[in-house]
Amino acid sequence: MSDSQDQVPQQQSPAREGITFRAIFIGLILVAIVCIIVTWAELVNGKIQIGFLQMPPVAIGMLFFLLIVSKGMQALRQKLGLSAAELMMIYCMMLVSAMISSRGIMEKVIPLLLTPNYFANSTNRWADLFYPYIKKWMAPFDPQGPNQQLISVRFWERLRAGEHIPWGAWALPLACWGLLVLLVIFAFLCLAAILRRQWVDNEKLSFPLSQAPFELVREEAGQSILKNKLLWAGTGLAAGVFAFNGLHNFYPNIPIIRLSIALNDYLVNPPYNSLTYFPIYISFAAIGFFFLLPSDLLFSLWFFHLLARVQTVIAASYNMQIETMPMYGEPLFISYQTAGAYVVISAYLFYVSLPHLKQVARAAVGLEKADDSEELMPYRVAFWGLVFCLGGIVFWCYMAGMSPWVALLEFGVFIFITALIMARSTAEGGLLMTETSFRPVDLYRLFAPVHSLGPANMTLLAFMDTAFLRDQRGLLLTGFLDGLKISDRANVKRRSLLMVFVIGILSALLFAGFLQIWLPYTRGGNTMYSWIYFYSNQMGLWEYQGHMQSSAIRSWQGPVFFSVGLVVTALLSYMRAMFYWWPLHPLGYALCVSWSMTVFWFSCFMAWMLKGLILRYGGMRLYMKSRPWFLGMILGEFGMAVIWTLLNIFTNCPTPDFPWP
């Protein structure tokens, strides 16, 4: 090496920033605000589902407004502005709080604890079927008492004058369920710590949902993206549409810009009338996110969704009996194909991660020293923490009356198959919404009828399916992984991010728990969002009520089409690994009838078409220049969701519909 080269200092990456008091302080304030906004928008207003997406509109909208305020304060005095690392720590706190206060936890657990008592009657016989197997510490009502006890009635029909919320009756059930929830959350934290290096460093997944918040706070050569005119043009387009649609509620003469079409209204003749819900939703935010994905994955997502619809039409045209998957409503023969796809993809992910997982296991038992000083937590803690959490979950379920092997099936499939594929769908597929099309008990159904599990197991499964399995929107594992990717981009110490997550989780559980008990007692659950208080909370009980009252015969479709899913996914994976030109991605097949693709398939198609045209006629240069426009569409749609929610809170004005139901 020459002398001149010796004199040139080597460039080093900037030092990672740790946690700051003002970031935590501001984050706690915004966590409370996020919980209020999510609870009001989703449960009281009911038209703006602002918290359950994997990049919640409330989080990105609040980050956008916080960044504008920070820039204003920075103009007054340099030190008053927040750094990119501080902004990202605050965003991570808002991210987990939005998911927890929405479908991630609270909106499923809180109403569930009183549902068996309030909705029990002589027709459904829930008191006879379920009450004997509900422990006293599991619910605020008395399982040995009558139906519709006062604590349940006032939750749905609101308190009368002079009455108070029975916090004492809620204390023990909330503490017990809170323990179970924390075990599940910490299991996800441990799993995220184990997976990060494999997915981020080894496989270099793009994590599209982490790109938008980081692009907002990133500055190059002192220039912020907020100065980009295309960003504001895209923001103005999306914001203008939702402002216009909002004005329609005040002035009906103003025409509404329709962003959804139910295609079933036009497909009324056989065999097309056999199709389940088949809509078109146009979401500017979804188009913006999908624009960041590889074209082959984009194609696979919408192609396999349409192929699933074609399968249904062909089956109906040959008079095949189209059974539906319980609790999901999609054709059973397609849902079992996706179940097979989940199993194969999970096995494949385990196989490609095996060298890394061996290193983690060896570090956990002390056979080698791993380089984990920069990880979210040491591999030893993550490995044994995951084992401890899974054991704690099984023990909790055992104390509640569930057989240990059933609990292990339920939560083993949930954590290591369902949640894993959902996380992969966001880390690689950029899906805004996570939702599956089967439950662990549907895998058991392949080998034995559900009623053979016995009434105690079925009672607990009714609770667990509703609280954790049926609705995967707001899955915290994806938030943790996105947060870890953000920490790399913003130079945040990962160990500091652990404390950020813990503070955000605990504060959100407290804030959202209080709000979602206080609001129904003061307003009445009957007047609030019907999906949460009348349907989602009862679906598990309806399902297992049927199994307790009759011995259903196993369908031939399950084993046959589960095997089809295994074979097709294995073939897709092989072709993708062996031939670079192969255009079909196995994730598209696995997600084909999920609610995520039902809602976003058309937005995915639009993004695929726009990206193809831009790359064909403008090349990579035009693609890079157009990215701020699509980022602006995300900010415009999500920002207007926050604005309309705040207006509704303070003025009770009507709000427009947003295209992510």
Q: What per-residue confidence (pLDDT) applies to 10? A: 41
Tens digits of per-residue pLDDT, 364-411?
A: 998 888 888 889 999 999 999 999 999 999 999 999 999 999 999 999
For residue 169, what are the CA distances in angstroms to 113, 115, 139, 152?
12, 15, 9, 11
Q: What per-residue confidence (pLDDT) applies to 5? A: 39
Phi, psi at 628, each rounded to 5°: -60, -35
Q: In the predicted model, is pLDDT for residue 7 greater than 70?
A: no
Q: What per-residue confidence (pLDDT) applies to 553? A: 72
Q: What per-residue confidence (pLDDT) applies to 220? A: 62
Place 71 in a pLDDT band, splitting at 50, 70 and 90.
confident
Least confident of 103-112, 528-537, 573-582: 573-582
Q: How far apart are CA 289 and CA 298, in angstroms?
A: 11
Phi, psi at 279, each rounded to 5°: -105, 170
Place 233 in a pLDDT band, splitting at 50, 70 and 90.
very high
**What is residue 280's three-state secondary structure?**
strand
Report CA Rg, the chain: 25
Q: Are 345 and 356 in contact (CB under 8 A)?
A: no
* DSSP H/E element including 16: none
Place 78 in a pLDDT band, splitting at 50, 70 and 90.
confident
Tens digits of per-residue pLDDT, 271-306?
A: 999 999 999 999 999 999 999 888 989 999 999 999
Tens digits of per-residue pLDDT, 93-124?
A: 999 999 999 999 999 999 999 999 999 999 99
Token pair of 56, please? 């919640």
Q: What is the DSSP string of 196-233?
A: HIIIIIIS----HHHHHHHHHH-EETTEEGGG-HHHHH
Place 14 in a pLDDT band, splitting at 50, 70 and 90.
low
Burial class (CB in 10 A: 0-12, 13-18, 19+), 528: buried
Q: What value does the mean pLDDT take over residues 435-462?
A: 95
Q: Are 96 and 479 in contact (CB under 8 A)?
A: yes
Place 222 in a pLDDT band, splitting at 50, 70 and 90.
low
Place 81 in a pLDDT band, splitting at 50, 70 and 90.
confident
The separation between CA 320 and the C-alpha centre of its own chain, rounded to angstroms, equals 34
Mean pLDDT, rounded, of the chain: 92
Instruction: Measure the CA angle with vertex 466, ends 463 and 467; round to 5°.
Output: 80
Place 11 in a pLDDT band, splitting at 50, 70 and 90.
very low
Query: Among 25, 90, 37, which residue's Cα sits nearest to residue 63?
Result: 90
Amino acid at 12: Q
Q: What value does the mean pLDDT take over residues 155-167?
A: 95
Q: How far apart are CA 638 and CA 641, in angstroms?
A: 5
Tens digits of per-residue pLDDT, 29-45?
A: 999 999 999 999 999 99
Token pair of 242, please? 């939702």
Q: At what angle do helices 21-39 and 84-101 cross, to 10 degrees?
A: 30
Place 17 in a pLDDT band, splitting at 50, 70 and 90.
confident
Q: What per-residue confidence (pLDDT) applies to 2? A: 39
**What is residue 324's three-state secondary structure?**
strand
Token pair of 534, please? 């009348």
Q: How far apart are CA 59 and CA 170, in angstroms?
A: 29
What are the DSSP E strand ranges found in 146-303? 219-220, 223-224, 260-262, 279-281
Q: What per-residue confidence (pLDDT) applies to 27? A: 96
Q: What value does the mean pLDDT take over residues 70-75?
A: 86
Length of the chain measured in residues: 661
Q: What per-residue confidence (pLDDT) applies to 9? A: 41
Q: Are 327 and 545 in contact (CB under 8 A)?
A: no
Q: What value does the mean pLDDT take over residues 219-237?
A: 83
Q: How far apart are CA 106 and CA 511, in angstroms?
A: 10
Q: How far apart are CA 273 and CA 267, in angstroms?
A: 6
Place 3 in a pLDDT band, splitting at 50, 70 and 90.
very low
Cis omega (within 30 of 0) for bond into 271: yes
For residue 262, what are the CA distances in angstroms to 108, 324, 396, 433, 530?
27, 20, 43, 20, 21
Q: What value does the mean pLDDT take over residues 554-577?
A: 94
**What is residue 622's three-state secondary structure?**
helix
How large a percentage of the chain has pLDDT more than 90? 83
Q: Looking up tokens 């207006």, which residue turns up?
A: 647
Amino acid at 241: V
Q: Looking up tokens 């329609």, which residue turns up?
A: 248
Token pair of 39, please? 């609870």
Place 4 in a pLDDT band, splitting at 50, 70 and 90.
very low
Tens digits of per-residue pLDDT, 619-634?
A: 999 999 999 999 999 9
The end-to-end CA distance of the chain, in Å, is: 62
Task: Give bridge partners of residue 223 from the DSSP assignment.
Answer: 220
Residue 79 neighbours by CB under 8 Å, 6+ apart: none
Residue ranges of domains in the chain: 17-114+171-204+254-651
Instruction: Measure the CA angle with vertex 596, ends 593 and 597; round to 5°.
Output: 55
The separation between CA 135 and the C-alpha centre of its own chain, rounded to angstroms, equals 30
**What is residue 570's three-state secondary structure?**
helix
Phi, psi at 630, each rounded to 5°: -70, -35
Q: How far apart are CA 534 and CA 233, in angstroms?
A: 41
Token pair of 275, please? 């199709």
Token pair of 101, please? 């206060």
What's the pTM?
0.94
